Structure 1
Amino acid sequence: MGSSWLILGVILLSSQVVRSQRVRVLPEVEAYPNESVNLRCEFTNPGSTKLTQVSWIFEATEGHRENIAVFHPTYGESFPKSAFKGRVQFTQASLEYPSIRIDSVRMSDAGRYTCEYATYPSGNEQGTTTLIMLAKPKNSATPVVVQAGSAKVVVARCEALQGKPAATVTWVTGAMGEYNSTSQAESDGTVTVKSEYRMAPASTDNGRDITCMISQRTQDRPQTFPMKLVVQYPPTVRIEGYDNNWYMGRTDASLTCHADANPKVVDFTWTTLSGNLPATAKVDQNRLLVQKVDESVNTTFICEAKNSLGSGKSQLTAAVIELTGDPSSAGVLVGAILGSLLALLLASALITVLVIRSRRQQPRYTGDSDQGTYGNKARIFGVKRASKNGTGDNNNGPIYTYRESEPGALVEKGNEFLHAPAGMPAPHHIPMTCELDEAGQRKFDTLNDSMEEEEEEEEQYDGFGGLPPSYHIPRHEDDYGVYIDDDMESQRDGSIISRTAIYV
């Protein structure tokens, strides 16, 4: 029995759903105050069902129903006394399409509207539309002027007045605080939301950014209100401009008094520890101009700044110094020093260049076979080696030179060594081997033998790819005179050249 009753209930409910689906309405309709709204209703597929009458019923709250419009095919339209009297009418006078229009809708018109048919033989059939009244809130935000302190106070407010549905308020800021929001229902069905931001303000919070954001269904996106906090505090003072260079007679010295305050400073006062300012000091609002630095400026200056909340002070001690020289000539002195250093460097460089050039131009005495710097100006003592027995060409032939006045002419050089040292014999006064006596001949042969031994040593050097040492012939004097001058220098090819003869 229990299951049978359950099946019967499901069938009846299904038949009721099928019947209710024949009354077609919109589930929800949105409207704003003072607008007109259409509520549609239609009976579909009536078939054999006879439509007797249609009524619109308004339900503001659950369980409270009232008729606002009735249509009968015989008796026509009827609008019972209600809050909609004069604002509601049928858009099409028929049972099949009994839609209505409500003009000048109010917030109180929000609720459920039921289109209900009286039919035969199935009874009443209906469909319900919910009218949602929307209201754009009146949004605003403003900072609150506060004084710096340790207690938490309201520093900014944000409001969304008479909105429906209720708005949502949030805050964005770097300040260290918190906020709270409250909602209040209005008599017309709207809701007012208020939010306050609280914190313990400090002077550093003055001008800090804070933003209120309001979100609500009627808005496409959140509305933002950027603000800056306004925190008032007495002045904080500092003195600037002292450069530790206030010397006697200076005329461009000055001090500036800076004050950080809100509201702005209305008065600056300059004094000293002794009370009065020096005669050479002049006050120009927040600046102290020292017309000329003297002993009286060697003191402690005090600046006091005032605003409507109080005052602040700062002090600075100036020390006057004495200069032995004119400070204006400091630049000239530095320039003179730099110029002197530069001139000294240039002179040193010039001397270095001249010394190097002079050394390069001095004559070079080389033991090489090359002619060196002398070119072909002089060829002295073109000698062949003598044999051990004294035969062979004479080593002490005449001196031949090339004169620059007669290019290519080989002439015998006379005694023209004007610059030779005193007592030194000229080359043509050196005795020839044929003029030596027996003792002198033995000395000369001994010298030749030693030279040949040295030549053998030279060949040994040549065999190893080395260079032989230069021959420096010693000076020999006896009763026969100087037969080999110590002015001579041997060459690699075996010849002997006089250093003095080079300067012909």
Structure 2
Amino acid sequence: MGPRAALLLLSLACSCSAQKVKVRAEVTGYVGQDVTLPCTYSPDNSDIKITQVTWMKETGGKKTNVAVYSPNWGKNLPNPRISFLKESLQEPTLVIKSLMMTDEGTYGCEFATYPDGNEEGTTRLILLAEPRNSAAAVPGAVGDAVGDREITVANCTSANGKPPSDITWQSVLPGNVSTRVINNTDGTITVNSQYKIFPTSEANGKTVTCIIASRTASVPQNIPVVLSIQYPPEVRISGYDDNWYINRQQAELTCTASGNPPPSKYEWKTASGQPLPNTVDVVGNLLVVKTVDNLVNTTFLCQATNSLGTSSAQLEVLVRERAMAEQSDSIGAIVGGVIGALLLIALIGIVVFFVLRSRKTKDKATYTPKTRIFGNGATSQEFAYREDSELGKPLQGAPRLAEEIPCTQADEDDEKQNYELLEEDDERFNEVGPMLQLRPHIPHDAYLDDDMESQNDGSMISKTAVYV
């Protein structure tokens, strides 16, 4: 069972006249289709006789016969679209074919009986007209970059329907709706809805949807509409990679323009008004530079034209002496040389540091508390004191210039202190580099002469200084 049949059954209600004439209080039909108006007579006494049955339509308070049946005189059907389902006095059901809106109204089923007289039942025929739905973009809707005026960009129509349809819109574009209802001469109703926006080029190609809900359809009908907004060209230039250098071959610029209608003409110029260089060829929307030279070092301008106007875009070209890759190689070589020099200097510094560090460590390893250094001002020698050394013995046949001075515990303590001072000097050496150290640090309350040691020959020798 279809939706229309279900709707028809749900809309039927039973009405009884004197419990004898049974009809449906309301019947719904669709324009262009057939409808049946049931009617039966059930007498409560078998002695009642039916002599005639008549169907009448009431229009403006006046009744008009539309179908009559008599067993004696036959049937009378003035309208060829109206007939009885079957010729029967007890069940004179009426059939109306190819319904028209003029068929809508109140119908009475009347029985002429003996001896009770006339018995009648009334049915209300309601007609529904399925509308013809359509939606489309408005041709010639003109927009601009600003969109400072509202225009109709789409129409949606639900024509010749009954009852009138309900129209709504769905869109990502903000807009306003204008709706008009028209009562047609045939009793149907036409609903027209317009969708209005402030048009811009961005709206071109966007989709809005007209949604039509009517009593004749179980679900709303959605009709998408692709907008067509006319606007002047919008131009851009592409193809420049910022690497145009002298003698580069076949460099190109492309002029791209959108517009509705599409641009029909492209023209290349220089922004300064000077003629295009001889090395430049123009092929439609392409500007081809056969060989890049200094004349190309300019600002190019492209104009695109359609029926709504002309728009332009410009691009400044910078010509280089050589390719960016070659410049990058030169810069890379310079940077690499600087880095290499810095690394070499750092390596030399590290080597010098470790050599000096190694010497310092060796000097510390050979030092003992009994080490003595003597000098006569001309040369220097280093002597390591040993028990069996000849240095400790007096010279034969010569005056004694020096004699062994035994080392006491106090001497060793002094030398230990001096050794600690040397270590402090080594630490300063590591921090600030080599320096001449003539004596250890002397406290403010000590005498400078405490560092000197008297010899047998009357000379004075520093206890801590190294003579070289």
Shift of the alpha carbon at 1:145?
Answer: 1.8
Structure 2 residue corresponding to 1:337, chosen from 312, 334, 339: 334
| Distance in 2 separating the partners of 1:214 and 1:119 | 51
Tell me the residue number matched to 1:222: 220
Say whether the 8 Å CA contact 1:68–1:81 is kept in structure 2: yes
Aligned pair 1:478/2:460, yes or no?
A: no
1:246-261 to structure 2, matched below 5 A, reads 246-251=244-249, 253-261=251-259
Cα offsets for 1:196-247 (capped at 9, x unmatched): 4456655454334333222221112222222233232333444455566655
Shift of the alpha carbon at 1:359?
Answer: 6.6
In our comparison, the structure showing a higher alpha carbon Rg is 1
Cα offsets for 1:301-350 (capped at 9, x unmatched): 342322234433445555656x4x77552132233234435545654665
Shift of the alpha carbon at 1:178?
Answer: 4.2
| Distance in 2 separating the partners of 1:440 and 1:452 | 18
Aligned pair 1:99/2:77, yes or no?
A: no
Cα offsets for 1:456-488 (capped at 9, x unmatched): x9xxxxxxxxxxxxxxx9866425999x9979x
Shift of the alpha carbon at 1:278?
Answer: 0.9
Say how many residue pairs are matched: 402
The letter of the residue matching 1:336 is: A
Tell me the residue number matched to 2:156: 158
Aligned pair 1:448/2:408, yes or no?
A: yes
The letter of the residue matching 1:26 is: R
Say whether the 8 Å CA contact 1:163–1:191 is kept in structure 2: yes
Structure 2 residue corresponding to 1:422, chosen from 368, 373, 381: 381
The letter of the residue matching 2:334 is: I
| Distance in 1 separating the partners of 2:456 and 2:285 | 108
Shift of the alpha carbon at 1:283?
Answer: 0.9
Say whether the 8 Å CA contact 1:143–1:230 is kept in structure 2: yes
Distance of aligned partners of 1:107 and 1:326 in 2 relative to their CA distance in 1, 3 Å threshold: closer
1:34-433 to structure 2, matched below 5 A, reads 34-43=32-41, 46=44, 50=48, 52-53=50-51, 55-59=53-57, 61-71=59-69, 75=71, 78-83=74-79, 85=80, 87-91=82-86, 93-95=88-90, 97-119=91-113, 123-146=117-140, 148=142, 154-173=152-171, 174=173, 176-187=175-186, 189-197=187-195, 201-241=199-239, 246-251=244-249, 253-272=251-270, 273-274=272-273, 276-316=275-315, 318=317, 320=319, 323=321, 327-341=324-338, 343-344=340-341, 347=344, 351=348, 354=351, 364=361, 422=381, 424=383, 427=386, 428-431=389-392
Cα offsets for 1:233-275 (capped at 9, x unmatched): 3334444555666554444544332323221111212234555
Tell me the residue number matched to 2:30: 32
Cα RMSD after superposing both structures: 4.9
Q: Describe the SS at the equivalent of 1:218.
A: coil
Q: Describe the SS at the equivalent of 1:260.
A: strand
Distance of aligned partners of 1:79 and 1:194 in 2 relative to their CA distance in 1, 3 Å threshold: farther
The letter of the residue matching 1:38 is: T
**Greater CA drift, 138-147 or 309-318:** 309-318
Say whether the 8 Å CA contact 1:186–1:192 is kept in structure 2: no
Q: Describe the SS at the equivalent of 1:46.
A: coil
Distance of aligned partners of 1:292 and 1:170 in 2 relative to their CA distance in 1, 3 Å threshold: same
Say whether the 8 Å CA contact 2:53–2:109 is kept in structure 1: yes
| Distance in 2 separating the partners of 1:432 and 1:421 | 21
Say whether the 8 Å CA contact 1:248–1:320 is kept in structure 2: yes
Say whether the 8 Å CA contact 1:54–1:115 is kept in structure 2: no
Q: Describe the SS at the equivalent of 1:337.
A: helix
| Distance in 1 separating the partners of 2:303 and 2:112 | 91
* Runs of 5+ unmatched residues, structure 2: 1-14, 371-378, 395-399, 418-450
The letter of the residue matching 1:478 is: N
Q: Describe the SS at the equivalent of 1:82.
A: coil
Bigger share in strand: 2
Tell me the residue number matched to 2:375: none
**Greater CA drift, 260-269 or 112-121:** 112-121
Shift of the alpha carbon at 1:281?
Answer: 0.7
Cα offsets for 1:139-188 (capped at 9, x unmatched): 1122222253777654332222332323233344425454232314143x
Shift of the alpha carbon at 1:136?
Answer: 1.8
Percent identity over the alignment is: 34
Q: Describe the SS at the equivalent of 1:422.
A: strand
Distance of aligned partners of 1:424 and 1:477 in 2 relative to their CA distance in 1, 3 Å threshold: farther
* Runs of 5+ unmatched residues, structure 1: 1-16, 368-372, 382-395, 397-419, 458-472, 488-504
Q: Describe the SS at the equivalent of 1:301.
A: strand
**Greater CA drift, 196-205 or 101-110:** 196-205
Q: Describe the SS at the equivalent of 1:450.
A: helix
